[in-house]
Amino acid sequence: MRAVAAAVVALIAVCLLSLSLGARAIPLDQVAGALAGTAGDRDVLDVIWSVRVPRTLIGLLAGAALGLSGALMQALTRNPLADPGVLGASAGAAFAVVLAIGVLGVAAPAGFVWFAFAGALVASVVVYGLAGLGRDGMTPVKLALAGVATTFLLSSVTSAFVLVDPESLSRYRFWSAGSLSGAGGELLPQLLPFAALGAALALTCGPALNSLALGDDVARGLGRRVGLVRLRGAAAVMLLTGSAVAAIGPVVFVGLVVPYVARALARGGGRSEADHRLLLPLAALLGPCLLLAADVLGRVVAPPIEVQAGLLVAFVGGPFFVVLARRRRLAEL
Handedness of CA 194, 276, 84, 178 (dihedral sign): positive
pLDDT value for 62: 93
Q: For residue range 233-256, what is the model confidence (pLDDT) as tens digits? A: 888 888 888 888 888 887 878 888
pLDDT value for 1: 74
What is the CB neighbour count within 10 angstroms for residue 297? 18
Check whether 302 has a pLDDT greater than 50.
yes
Give CA–CA dist 28/32, Å, rounded: 6
DSSP state of 47: I
Lowest mean pLDDT among 199-208, 214-223, 296-305: 214-223
311: left (phi > 0), else alpha (psi -120 to 50), else beta? alpha
Whether the upstream peptide bond of residue 304 has omega within 30° of 0, thus cis, is yes
The long-range contacts involving 294-302, CB below 8 angstroms and separated by at least 24 positions, are 295/18, 295/55, 295/59, 295/180, 296/14, 296/17, 296/18, 296/21, 299/21, 299/22, 299/23, 300/21, 300/22
Give CA–CA dist 280/263, Å, rounded: 9
pLDDT value for 327: 63
CB 317 within 8 A of CB 253: yes
Handedness of CA 268, 271, 274, 278 (dihedral sign): negative
Mean pLDDT (the chain) is 82
pLDDT category, 271, cuts 50, 70, 90? low
Q: For residue range 137-182, what is the model confidence (pLDDT) as tens digits? A: 666 677 778 888 888 898 888 888 777 776 666 666 766 777 787 6
User: What is the C-alpha end-to-end distance of the chain, expressed in Å?
Assistant: 21
pLDDT value for 200: 94
CB 191 within 8 A of CB 204: no
CB 111 within 8 A of CB 76: no
Q: For residue range 178-213, what is the model confidence (pLDDT) as tens digits? A: 778 766 677 788 889 989 999 999 999 888 888 887
DSSP state of 250: -
Check whether 279 has a pLDDT greater than 90.
yes
What integer is the mean pLDDT of 267-275?
Answer: 66
What pTM value is reported for the model? 0.86
Q: For residue range 40-72, what is the model confidence (pLDDT) as tens digits? A: 678 888 889 888 999 999 999 999 999 999 999
pLDDT category, 332, cuts 50, 70, 90? very low
